[in-house]
Amino acid sequence: GIKFIPHYGGPASTEITQEIEWLISKTEVNAIDIKEAEKKGLVAEVDFKEEYIEWALSLVDIDVIKRAKLKILANPLHGSARGYLDEVLRRAGCEVKCIHCDRDPSFGGLMPDPTLPETLSDMASLMQDFDLGVATDGDGDRAAAYSKNFISPNTLFPILLKHMLDKGIKGGVVRTVATTHMVDEIAMKNGLKLHEVPVGFKNIAPYLLMGEAVIGGEESGGFGYKWHIPEKDGVLTCLYIVEALASSGKKRIEEIMREIEREYKLLYSIRSHISISRPDRFKMALMSLEPKSIDGYHVRSTCRIDGAKFITDKGWLLIRPSGTEPVVRVYAEAENLDIAKKMLEWGLRKAEELSRTC
């Protein structure tokens, strides 16, 4: 298929895609061979690699990064960030080793998703020689990290937000309904407006584009910034993670997390899913779910902008049918891991019960 990127460099809005669909229905398609189109000058291949790297480097303090003399393990997972992720880090002054930097359409037989710990498992045995590991997904727009252990996007978001505050950057924050509330804690204590939106970066992009938020993120590893294009960028995010560690003066990124835990609050996020056969019917059934408590924890409020999210005294639970797969995703976050697990198990049971009624 074709992915249309509007002039502002972010996801096409629903209004734009609907207009395109309308135009397609009213227009006769004139097909042309790609070679002929190239000869006629209708198609041009343009490489903006150098411009991109220079732009990304202009957004960080290279002197700070160089002074830290960090050793970075870069892992683009055979994807489109190879030659970008490693190059931008080298030019920022890091010593870089790149793994999975060769072109492989099968991604080495792995899911090209850095938010899955098993995808980055081969980084574990190498980390004793590095200060930090960073990874991007197949198309380079999502990021995760590795230190002594896997570092999830829900851990990276508070680190990135704190780093922006340390850089003197203040403004609104936007996150999806499935993303950690740790950013809420940081935003509240620093007087920042917090926006919650449905899952999907297309719902985050307008806040960045209109300047209502300086940073936006989702638990799947996509992060964007007001001063950049209103789109997620895994390479730039990895560069900011490296800058955060370099400017902190700390040896490991876990030390930054412990600092955040002392100053704000540490929350534990977990998720799982079940398969369903009728997503449309499940959505209707989910509307009837109105629990007074979840595993004994009082439900204070409910959010239904995307699925059903129940806020309790100790955390929150989200039950949400996927928009792209025949599965229901269940997310839980709480003040300790045991509570999060209990809430997740409750959510999975309820999702199973509802699926049997569909």
pLDDT number for residue 302:
97
pLDDT category at 2 given cuts 50, 70, 90 is confident
Alpha carbon dihedral 57, 255, 220, 132, in 10-degree steps, equals 50
pLDDT number for residue 324:
85
Sign of the Cα pseudo-torsion (82, 83, 85, 86, in order) = positive
Taking CA atoms, 136 is separated from 112, 162, 257, in Å, by: 8, 21, 21
- Determine the residue type at 355: S
Q: Percentage of the chain surpassing pLDDT 90? A: 91
107: left (phi over 0), alpha (psi -120 to 50) or beta: left
Domains located in the chain, CATH noted: 50-263 (3.40.120.10), 268-356 (3.30.310.50)
Q: Is the distance from CB of 147 to CB of 273 less than 8 angstroms?
A: no
pLDDT at 227 over 80: yes
pLDDT digits (tens, 9 = 90+) for 173-201: 999 999 999 999 999 999 999 999 999 99
pLDDT number for residue 210:
96
Q: Percentage of the chain surpassing pLDDT 70? A: 100
pLDDT at 1 over 80: no
- The residues near 229 (Cβ < 8 Å, ≥ 6 apart) are 8, 9, 10
Q: Is the distance from CB of 145 to CB of 137 less than 8 angstroms?
A: no
pLDDT at 107 over 90: yes
pLDDT digits (tens, 9 = 90+) for 139-153: 999 999 999 999 999
Name the DSSP class of 67.
Answer: H
Query: What average pLDDT does range 128-133 have in this prediction?
Result: 97
pLDDT category at 316 given cuts 50, 70, 90 is very high
This model's pTM is above 0.85: yes
- Judged by DSSP in three states, 317 sits in strand
Biggest CA-to-CA distance, the chain: 69
pLDDT at 14 over 80: yes
pLDDT digits (tens, 9 = 90+) for 15-55: 999 999 998 888 887 889 999 999 999 998 899 999 999 99
Taking CA atoms, 275 is separated from 319, 320, 348, in Å, by: 13, 12, 11
Partners of residue 215 on adjacent β-strands? 173, 225
Q: CA 122 to CA 60: how far, in whole Å? A: 29
Query: What average pLDDT does range 327-350 have in this prediction?
Result: 97
Query: What average pLDDT does range 74-95 have in this prediction?
Result: 98
> For the chain, how many helices (H) and strands (E)?
12, 15
pLDDT digits (tens, 9 = 90+) for 256-312: 999 999 999 889 999 999 999 888 899 999 999 999 999 999 999 999 999 999 999
pLDDT number for residue 357:
87
Query: What average pLDDT does range 211-219 have in this prediction?
Result: 98
Picking from 14-18, 234-238, 331-335, 351-355, which range would have the lowest pLDDT averaged per residue? 14-18
Name the nearest CA neighbour of 319 among 295, 340, 344, 296: 344
pLDDT number for residue 3:
85
pLDDT digits (tens, 9 = 90+) for 155-165: 999 999 999 99
Question: Cβ atoms within 10 A of the Cβ of 10, count?
Answer: 21
Taking CA atoms, 301 is separated from 2, 22, 108, 309, in Å, by: 41, 40, 44, 8
